[in-house]
Amino acid sequence: MPVLDGGGRLLRKAFPEHWSFLLGEIALYSLIVLIVTGVWLTLFFKPAMREVVYHGPYVPLRGTLVSEAFDSTLHISFEVRGGLLMRQMHHWAALVFVSAIGLHLLRIFFTGAFRRPREINWIIGVTLFLIALAEGFAGYSLPDDLLSGTGLRIAQGIMLSLPVVGTYVSMFVFGSQYPGEDIVSRLYPVHVLLLPGALLALVTVHLILVFHLKHTQWRGPRATNRNVIGKPLFPQFAASSIGLSLMVFGVIAMLGSVAQINPVWTYGPYRPDQASTGSQPDWYVGFLEGSLRLMPRWETTVAGHTIMWNVLLPGVVLPLLLFAVLYAYPFAEQRLTGERHREQHLCDRPRERPVRTGLGVAGITFYGVLLLAGGNDIVADTFQISLNSLTWTLRIALVAAPVAAFLLTRRLCHALLEAEQKRLAEGEETGEVRQTVEGGYQSGHEPVTDFRPGAPRKPLSSLEPRTGTPSREHPGPAPRGR
């Protein structure tokens, strides 16, 4: 029957076995943990900011005025059986989810798996990453504790930096003058309904496209643009994937059991006139905190309106530029390299594309400097150094370090390619030293038999220095329909 025949082809669909292709699955399974634990938490959480007096088991806060959101968070943590475990598993799963998406995007970027016909999947992946950041921030803000309230205050400052419309945006989001009484009740449906719905929809489309376009793979003796070498979906790949899902569930459960995270009772309820000492956001928004700290004071008054460049540029313009570059990069590279009309189903090794790899490492370095700057006060206090000196050092590093990283990475890629070609041409050293007829000495060599994924099996006639020019050994892409 046609239905059974189609199902058979689907079950026989092959998936590569390399570990780097599992990062997307880790993101998927951590999302499942997020949904399961999130549904459980919604049964007990009260998304309201009405003030109540805390009478729970946590003695230091007894008699304190807190919001219902904060009170219900403490109730889940100390009075609901398994509540603290579920809260911590939910938070750890969120960190694993965002981390896995980020690493998955890096794998796709450095191997060139974003090229035709997968540009749409790259756009979906970047959008998933962006929604995951927003979802994490929304969930992080719901308990209404002092740490999350400090983050909301920073977010409100960023809104106010928008010229002309800033005050209107802030009033629309918070419902009244900051902090108002509506922000938690407004964030709640966004966190549990709108953003999860968008995530599930995009993940579904992403998986459908992966099946339709077939999976990328490393170059090899049998791997071509026309096939995929690996395990069939059923039963081998399904068994491996189920095993990986159990490992992800187990690791997140272990972290939730033994590694404390977000202890809101130590921060206390949010008050607008207070801020936690040494407060730090989760790592995925730490770069935004760092950009705000590194930006010098700079304001301009135009027609009675004050433009706060020191907040607008790092808090609004910089994130927009970063994501604009991510969205546009596949199209820009393919246009510059002339590959936009050819389908690519084989992965590049990072060393084969020195410029692309250098740009990626430069971007990671840029992000790392901003992340470090987000904790400059803690670093300065820990190592007993001047905060002003550290801030100026990081400002210089934000410009100089990515350039140095790009040049060093590009040079390293060329050196690795040259060393690889020499190894293929001369063979591997055996450790034996022989005396020549002329009286000199030379080491013995044997043919290379151990190859890494995607590595060439024979010396190339020439090395291609440009990032976008495929190596001459590699076969040209073939139409997907063949």
149-161 per-position pLDDT tens digit: 999 999 999 999 9
DSSP state of 20: G
Domain boundary among 426, 442, 468: 426
Helical ranges in 142-165 per DSSP H: 146-160
For the ranges 96-105, 156-165, 184-193, 277-286, the lowest mean pLDDT is seen at: 277-286
Look up the CATH number of the domain holding residue 128.
Answer: 1.20.810.10
Sign of CA dihedral 282, 285, 288, 290: positive
245 and 313 assigned to the same domain: yes
Same domain, 417 and 318: no
Is the confidence at residue 416, as pLDDT, over 60?
yes
Question: Which of 85, 132, 79, 87 lies closest to 105, judged by CA?
Answer: 132
Domain count, the chain: 2
Q: Is residue 85 part of a domain?
A: yes
- The mean predicted confidence, pLDDT, of the chain is 88
Task: Name the percent of the chain lying above pLDDT 70.
Answer: 93
Own/partner pairs, 335-341, CB within 8 angstroms, 24+ separation? 336/468, 337/466, 337/467, 337/468, 337/469, 338/468, 339/115, 339/116, 339/468, 339/470, 340/116, 341/116
Only one residue has tokens 């050293």, namely: 429
Domain assignment present for residue 474? The answer is no
* Last-in-domain residue among 426, 460, 476: 426
318 and 176 housed in the same domain: yes
- Are 102 and 246 within one domain? yes
**Per residue in 383-402, pLDDT tens?**
999 999 999 999 999 999 99
pLDDT value, residue 479: 39
At residue 118 the predicted structure's pLDDT band, cuts being 50, 70 and 90, is very high
Distances (CA, A) of 200 to 35, 210, 299, 302, 323: 10, 15, 42, 44, 21
Question: Is 433 domain-assigned?
Answer: no
CA pseudo-torsion sign 179, 182, 187, 188 = positive
Of 14 and 62, the structure prediction assigns the larger pLDDT to 62
What is the mean pLDDT of the segment spanning 179-205? Answer: 94
Q: What pLDDT digit, counting tens, does each position of 15-36 carry?
A: 788 888 899 999 999 999 999 9
Strand partners, 269: 145
Predicted pLDDT at 344: 87
Three-class SS state of 58: coil
Is residue 473's pLDDT more than 90? no
| Residue 470 lies inside a defined structural domain of this protein | no
In this structure, the answer to whether residues 163 and 252 fall within a common structural domain is yes
In a domain, 448, yes or no: no
Other CB atoms within 10 Å distance of the CB of residue 76? 21
Domain termination residue (choose one: 426, 447, 475): 426
pLDDT at site 46: 95
| Residue 456, pLDDT above cutoff 70 | yes
What local confidence, expressed as pLDDT, does residue 477 receive?
A: 40
* Mean pLDDT, residues 226-252: 87
Greater confidence (436 vs 378) lies with 378
Residue 222 binned pLDDT confidence (cut-offs 50, 70, 90): confident
Over residues 291-329, the pLDDT tens digits come to 999 999 888 888 877 888 999 999 999 999 999 999 999
Answer yes or no: is 44 within a domain: yes
Instruction: Give yes or no: residues 375 and 311 share one domain.
Output: no
pLDDT tens figures, 356-365: 999 999 999 9
Instruction: Provide the β-strand partners of residue 434.
Output: 442
Amino acid letter at 433?
V
pLDDT of 450 higher than 80: no
Q: Which two tokens stand for residue 457?
A: 């099996």
Residue 386 and residue 247 in one domain? no
- Where in the sequence is the domain holding 382, given as residue range(s)? 349-426
Whether 70 maps to a domain, the answer reads yes
> What is the predicted pLDDT for the residue at 1?
46
Question: Does 471 have pLDDT greater than 50?
Answer: no
Q: Does 201 share its domain with 164?
A: yes
Do 311 and 382 lie in one domain? The reply is no
What's the mean pLDDT in 275-281?
A: 77
Percent of the chain as helix, strand, coil, to the nearest 5? 60, 10, 30
For residues 450 and 471, the model is more confident at 450
Same domain, 88 and 145: yes
Report yes or no on 457 lying in a domain.
no
Q: Do 129 and 54 reside in the same domain of the chain? A: yes
Judgement on whether residues 353 and 334 belong to the same structural domain of the protein: no
